[in-house]
Amino acid sequence: MAIYHFAMQISSRSAGKSSVAMAAYRSGERLTDDRTGEIKQYRPRAVEPETAILAPKHAPEWVYNRQRLWNEVELIEKQSNAQLCREFNIALPVELSKEQQQILVAKFVQEQFVDRGMVADIGIHRDDPGNPHFHVMLTMRPFNEDGTWGNKSRKVYVLDEQGEKIKLKSGNYKTYKERTTNWDEKETLTKWREEWANYANKSLEQAGFSTRIDHRSLEEQGITDRMPTIHEGVIVNSMELKGKITERGEINRSVKEHNAIVVSLNDYRKEKESIEQQNGLLRPEERKIIRQAKAIIQNTLNLDSVQEGLDSLSMRESGLHQQIDQMLKQEVLFNNAEGLLDLIKSLQSDLEGPRVINKEGKLRHTRIENEIAKARDTLQKLGFSTNEEQFKSRKAKVLTYHNDEMTKIKQAREQIAEKQKILRRSEKILLKQEVQILAQQFSDSPGSAKLQYSEVKAIREMNEHMGKMSLKDLRSTFNKLSEKMNTLIKAKEQFIKNAERLRVGEQWLAKYEKQLQEIRKLFLSSKVKQQLKEDIAVSSKMLKQHGIVDRKDYDNQVLIHNQDSSQIQKIDEQIHDLQPGVNVLQGAVRALRAAEQRNTADQQRNHWANKQRNVIRTQENDRDLER
């Protein structure tokens, strides 16, 4: 079962750490520490780590060389107490396949760390099949656009009320240190912890698993009956793998056993509550159908498991159809072969009859022999013997087998049809049940009783992610998030539009400046001068359209635009954070809107039908009076 484990440490030289040694252990590679001359290599693992290095686009090419990357880190960090790297140790969901885990790791690291400017050195460890996890070592410094190392922080002068630097008695100015990134902020770490749970849960959902992980502590989740495990560490893990009992291992085994019992009891309580709630909404005959459906599914009964059961039965039915087709094809082959045997028998009878000794008789005899040889060759290609007795014996056995199989298939198809009938009826009952529950939640929506399966799923997803809310709150929340999302999108579009305006404007500015230089030249003909004046007028007009006065004005605008560009990453992050919530709410809003439209359409049809009935009733009364 997937667990949440997300540990972070910052490795510093003052603690005796070496980033080269750490990289060697996590990658399983032999690396040389240029600073000390030591070779860092650890004993081979039973399962080789899966490694990768991801880096921002503007990072230099050498970052993809693990040895040089971490030696460069050791070189740039000169202080004795320097922070060398940030490292995360994260547990992977055991339910996912190896490839799914790799995709999950790459996506999370790229979007949460690399896109923020860090170089990431990843090592996935699978020594313990029950504990797949990955390490990711991250650089502490950003890279400048030219590929050189950036600064972790910058000096900022403290100013007085007049905006002047404050001079200290020592003669130095009062300053403070400002971080160039937000990577060290507590809020950033909290966000990373939450995002890992979101990424992992989305991967589990896409892979079809109902298991979910939660980044919050048991206390924050309101779970008081379960106990947290303790960190075992590399040494304890190694001892436990060798079969040696450790104190920490024993504690964790006791905790896991306790938690397993608690989880089982909680699951039992939830299922019992669900059954009691279901039974309270069901009639006796519906409860019978639900019991039969549960016996077929042999698992928790809900709309999703019923759909999976129907799909499984359809596949089984398709397999039976293929089996019937194969048997029919085989019978056709036997019929064709039997026809060839009858032909051979008939031709041989012709050969044994009176033989005419002339040219025509010889030709006929040769033709019959060729036809017999051709028929026998075809029989062999079809896989049959020319011996009639053997053929009949084989055909009888095959047909007997086919008859037995057809009887079994008929019974299997009848059973499948019966199961499909029960599951479809249970699907309608469960859908009605869920709609009744949702109708109570959306009592302010007159169409909620008309929800369909796909719409129920959309609202259920919203309840899981956003919590239950009324129609009024749903629309209000959706409108607020949508408005915020649209504002961010428009800001980003405006930034892109401004960048394009400056790009085209710069082209016209370069053309305008060149034309001004040309017209200042000596000995130009009047015709050339006139043409340059016309060109300058066009360029000036285009510069005005693009909001540019001259080179100085353009440079100022570019400077402001570049300053604004730092906000675009934050806007992208906000859009990324808002998008899942907007999508979930949008699905619920659309579902309720569609149900309301169906409800309105049904009311209109009923109104029209009642009107028609009244017209017919009036006509019948008139005819009775006439009589």
pLDDT tens digits along 11-61: 988 888 899 999 998 998 999 998 888 888 877 777 889 999 999 999 999
pLDDT tens digits along 549-578: 999 999 999 998 888 877 887 888 888 888
What's the pLDDT score for residue 501?
94
pLDDT tens digits along 127-174: 887 788 999 999 999 999 888 998 887 777 777 777 777 877 777 877
What's the pLDDT score for residue 247?
67
What's the pLDDT score for residue 447?
74
Q: Which range has the top average pLDDT, 8-12, 176-180, 276-280, 387-391?
A: 8-12
> For residue 470, what pLDDT band results from cuts at 50, 70 and 90?
confident
Which residue did the predictor score with more confidence, 280 or 106?
Answer: 106
What's the pLDDT score for residue 72?
93
Identify the sign of the CA torsion 546, 547, 550, 555.
negative
Q: With 70 as the cut, is the pLDDT of residue 249 above it? A: no
Going by C-alpha positions, the residue among 496, 474, 478 that lies closest to residue 486 is 478
Mean pLDDT, the chain, rounded, equals 83
**E strand or H helix at 56, and its extent?**
none
> For residue 237, what pLDDT band results from cuts at 50, 70 and 90?
low
Amino acid, res. 381: K
Of 184-188, 331-335, 618-622, the least confident: 618-622
Distance between CA atoms of 444 and 72, rounded to whole angstroms?
A: 64
pLDDT tens digits along 360-415: 878 888 888 899 899 889 988 888 888 888 888 888 999 999 999 999 999 999 99
Q: With 50 as the cut, is the pLDDT of residue 488 above it? A: yes
What's the pLDDT score for residue 529?
87
Distance between CA atoms of 594 and 604, rounded to whole angstroms?
A: 15
501 Cα distance to chain centroid: 37
What's the pLDDT score for residue 277?
47
Residue 336: strand, helix, or coil: helix
Q: CA angle 275-278-284, nearest 5°?
A: 105
Of 97-106, 322-331, 391-400, 582-591, the least confident: 582-591
Helix and strand numbers, DSSP H then E, in the chain: 14, 9
Distance between CA atoms of 489 and 282, rounded to whole angstroms?
A: 48
Going by C-alpha positions, the residue among 133, 132, 122 that lies closest to residue 89 is 133
Query: DSSP alpha helices (H): ranges in 232-358?
Result: 233-241, 247-281, 284-297, 303-352
The stretch 190-217 carries a mean pLDDT of 86
Q: With 80 as the cut, is the pLDDT of residue 420 above it? A: yes
The β-bridge partners of 154 are 178
Going by C-alpha positions, the residue among 131, 60, 119 that lies closest to residue 93 is 131
Q: With 90 as the cut, is the pLDDT of residue 589 above it? A: no
**Token output for 483:** 């408005």
Going by C-alpha positions, the residue among 66, 55, 62 that lies closest to residue 31 is 66
What's the pLDDT score for residue 1?
61
Distance between CA atoms of 475 and 609, rounded to whole angstroms?
A: 33
Q: What is the DSSP string of 296-322?
A: HH-S--SHHHHHHHHHHHHHHHHHHHH
Distance between CA atoms of 143 and 120, rounded to whole angstroms?
A: 13
**Token output for 129:** 């099949």
116: DSSP letter: G
Nearby residues of 370 by Cβ (< 8 Å), 6 or more positions away? none
**E strand or H helix at 558, and its extent?**
helix 551-626
What's the pLDDT score for residue 198?
92
Going by C-alpha positions, the residue among 254, 207, 213, 214 that lies closest to residue 230 is 254
pLDDT tens digits along 114-124: 998 999 999 99
Q: With 60 as the cut, is the pLDDT of residue 292 above it? A: yes
Q: What is the DSSP string of 148-184?
A: SB--SEEEEE-B-TTSPBPBPTTSPBPEEEEESSSTT
Distance between CA atoms of 39 and 21, rounded to whole angstroms?
A: 9
Which residue did the predictor score with more confidence, 159 or 271?
Answer: 159
Residue 534: strand, helix, or coil: helix
Distance between CA atoms of 113 and 347, rounded to whole angstroms?
A: 84
Share of the chain above pLDDT 70, in %: 88
Q: With 50 as the cut, is the pLDDT of residue 276 above it? A: no
The β-bridge partners of 134 are 90, 124
Nearby residues of 401 by Cβ (< 8 Å), 6 or more positions away? none
